[in-house]
Amino acid sequence: MNNFESHTAAERKEMLNALSLNSQDDLYSTLSDEIKIDGLNLGEPYSEMKLTQEIKHLASLNNTGYASFLGGGATRRFIPAAVAQIAQRFEFNTAYTPYQAEISQGTLQSIYEYQSMICNLTNMEVSNASMYDTATACAEAVLMAVRVTGRNKALVCRRMNPQYQEVIKTYAEAADIEISNDLSSIGDDVACVILQTPDYFGAVHDVEKLKANISDSKTMLICCCDLISLSVLEPPVCDVIVGNLQPAGNELSFGGPYGAFFACLDKYKRQMPGRIVGRTVDAEGNQAFCLTLQTREQHIRREKATSNICSNQALVALKSCVYLTLMGTQGLKQVALLSANKAHKLAQKLMDKGFELQSKNFFNEFVLKVNNADEFLNNLKENKILGGIKLDDNRVLVCVTEMNTDEEIENYEYFAV
């Protein structure tokens, strides 16, 4: 256990001497005094029993019991208890995702089943083992299109999630890719067009109409889709489909990781980022699973690497796999239809009250026009309702799911002023 002991005083002094410093405080001499902390004021240490009691007391101070209508990329949905119970089994829930996953047939099979489900929902031919999050999945799709087409211009719909757009721009800047939001002119110099449907504002897009504006066959079409909506909405006919895994069996968290799916046509599979699990037979003719494709430079020649994505969200993908299995085709459709029906019910009630919508063509999120967004949301919050996301002074993004009860919808309409 010596390797896990703290550095000795002699070792610390040796390291400081190597840096020509007198003390550890000198390591932070360049930092402003405003951001330095003068002690943590933790007090005396507690016993385990006392600590448990204190944590329970602090937890009781939290404000809970709010009806939530928040969305915008992080959605509150029902998760069957079996999802957590299965995902937390020691066979799956390890401290580290193994690089040599071939040794774990169970993990590989769960990823393979997950990939199959994603292909079924997206109507695509190939899915990878999952991505880190939706923003990077969108950015990686753009990089993939640039590699496939040999072009360096991408058109990004301005109605996409703002976070996704920012990550795409960051990737593009480093790769010297030109980004434009002008989808009216799609020339033969464009590598890809990427859009979100339903978009950040909840509106469902006519992808076929957009495709009619793409005159060059080499230009790739990338769609970012809501996984739940694909059970009732026709999957868009495109080259790549990406999206968020969080609504499918994964809890809300403080920033992630939420995971994402990435699926494409078969002809692009060797340009796909990340890894793909395949099914084969072993030397004795038994079913076996293995990592069929890996795109990171660690495994292949650096110049042939298509991405620096070295792993996947195995546990997040597992939860989605278990969730989709438990829900089944009809269960998933029921979730989607409940969400859509409840959203349209609330929207109609608000319109009857005199409010206006930005668009009536939506799935389960819509933009509500209000006189003063701050006053509108604060009034709802005072009545234990998280009314949505403020887009600007006069617009609020409202999300409704199967989790919102009829009583919550009635209360929202009543307190909406």
Are 300 and 337 in a shared domain? no
pLDDT at 302: 67
Are 275 and 393 in a shared domain? no
Are 332 and 208 in a shared domain? no
Q: Which of 274, 294, 323 is the last residue of a domain?
A: 323
Contact call for residues 291 and 101 (beta carbons, < 8 A): yes
pLDDT at 45: 87
pLDDT at 181: 93
Q: Which of 323, 354, 377 is the last residue of a domain?
A: 323
DSSP-derived secondary structure letter, 185? -
- 3-class DSSP state of 239: coil
Are 151 and 166 in a shared domain? yes
**d(C-alpha 155, C-alpha 338), whole Å:** 34
Q: Which helix (H) or strand (E) holds 144?
A: helix 134-149
Are 365 and 273 in a shared domain? no
Q: Mean pLDDT, the chain, as a whole number?
A: 91
Are 237 and 118 in a shared domain? yes
pLDDT at 99: 47
Which of these ranges, 55-64, 119-128, 406-415, has the smallest mean pLDDT? 55-64
Q: Is residue 12 part of a domain?
A: no
Q: Is residue 98 part of a domain?
A: yes
Q: Is residue 371 part of a domain?
A: yes
pTM of the predicted protein model:
0.86
Residue 86 Ramachandran class (φ > 0 left, ψ -120 to 50 alpha, else beta): alpha
What tokens appear for 415 in the block?
A: 């307190």
DSSP-derived secondary structure letter, 28? G
Are 179 and 274 in a shared domain? yes
**d(C-alpha 294, C-alpha 274), whole Å:** 6
Amino acid 392 reads: D
Q: Is residue 195 part of a domain?
A: yes
pLDDT band at 100 (very low <50, low <70, confident <90, very high): very low
Q: Which of 304, 323, 342 is the last residue of a domain?
A: 323
Are 319 and 339 in a shared domain? no
* pLDDT tens column, 149-206: 999 999 999 999 999 999 999 999 999 999 999 988 788 999 999 999 999 999 999 9
Amino acid 69 reads: F
371 φ, ψ (degrees, to nearest 5): -75, -40
Q: Is residue 407 part of a domain?
A: yes
* pLDDT tens column, 115-143: 999 999 999 999 999 999 999 999 999 99
CATH of the domain at 350: 3.90.1150.10
pLDDT at 90: 79
Are 263 and 360 in a shared domain? no
- Domain tally for the chain? 2
CATH of the domain at 139: 3.40.640.10
Are 301 and 356 in a shared domain? no
Q: Is residue 25 part of a domain?
A: no
* pLDDT tens column, 252-303: 987 667 899 999 999 999 999 988 999 999 999 999 998 888 776 556 666 7
Number of neighbouring beta carbons within 10 Å of residue 192: 28
User: Taking the CA of residue 145 as centre, how many other CA atoms within 13 Å lie in the half-sphere pointing to its CB?
Assistant: 34
Domain that holds residue 386: 67-79+328-415
Are 362 and 411 in a shared domain? yes
* pLDDT tens column, 299-338: 666 677 778 777 788 889 999 999 999 999 999 999 999 9
Instruction: From 367, 364, 380, select the one nearest 417 (Cα to Cα).
Output: 380
**d(C-alpha 403, C-alpha 395), whole Å:** 23
Residue 277 pairs in a beta bridge with 291
